[in-house]
């Protein structure tokens, strides 16, 4: 039997089996995916308090720490940021999501709009810059991890 024929048979038999094996994974991803119309899905916590641009800049001597991730600009006063890319469903558009540890205040510019949030000292927040708008929730008190 030729090599080409062997490969063709393997693809012919393995392809449908692989496709069937992927169905539960696709269903699970779709069922647990964030819903853009339901802000309660995704990060859980109390909504961040939105403030004006002037309030974000007021009272700080040092400039905010800025970075750009996946087309969205983020600024924070303190702490660290850990970002990833999420999707609204298995085929939905990608959007950046960041967890910020003890940021005190956050600014996000995405899709032509800037939003400013006051988080408060010692709290952790998660921000999603979805195509439908920016969403921010306070997820709890910042805890240092023992290393």
Q: How far, in Å, CA of 44 to CA of 142, rounded? A: 15
Q: Are 67 and 74 in contact (CB under 8 A)?
A: yes
Q: What is the pLDDT of residue 11?
A: 56
| 3-state SS, residue 146 | coil
- Mean of per-residue pLDDT scores for the chain: 80
State pLDDT tens for residues 84-110.
999 887 788 899 999 999 899 999 999
| 3-state SS, residue 64 | coil
pLDDT higher at 11 or 101: 101
Mean pLDDT for the stretch of residues 18-37: 50
Q: How far, in Å, CA of 106 to CA of 115, rounded? A: 8
| Cβ neighbours around 9 below 10 Å, total | 11
């Amino acid at each position: 039997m030729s090599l080409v024929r062997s490969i063709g048979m393997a693809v012919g038999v393995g392809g449908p089996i692989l496709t069937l094996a992927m169905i539960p994974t696709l269903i699970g991803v779709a069922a647990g995916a964030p819903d853009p119309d339901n802000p309660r899905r995704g990060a859980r916590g109390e909504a961040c308090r939105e403030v004006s641009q002037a309030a974000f800049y007021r009272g700080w001597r040092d400039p905010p720490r800025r970075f750009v991730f996946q087309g969205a600009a983020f600024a924070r006063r303190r702490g660290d940021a850990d970002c990833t890319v999420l999707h609204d469903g298995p085929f939905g558009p990608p959007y950046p999501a960041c967890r910020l540890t003890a940021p005190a205040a956050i600014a996000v510019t995405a899709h032509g709009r800037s939003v400013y949030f006051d988080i408060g000292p010692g709290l952790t927040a998660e921000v999603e810059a979805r195509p439908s708008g920016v969403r921010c929730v306070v997820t709890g008190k910042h805890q240092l991890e023992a290393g």
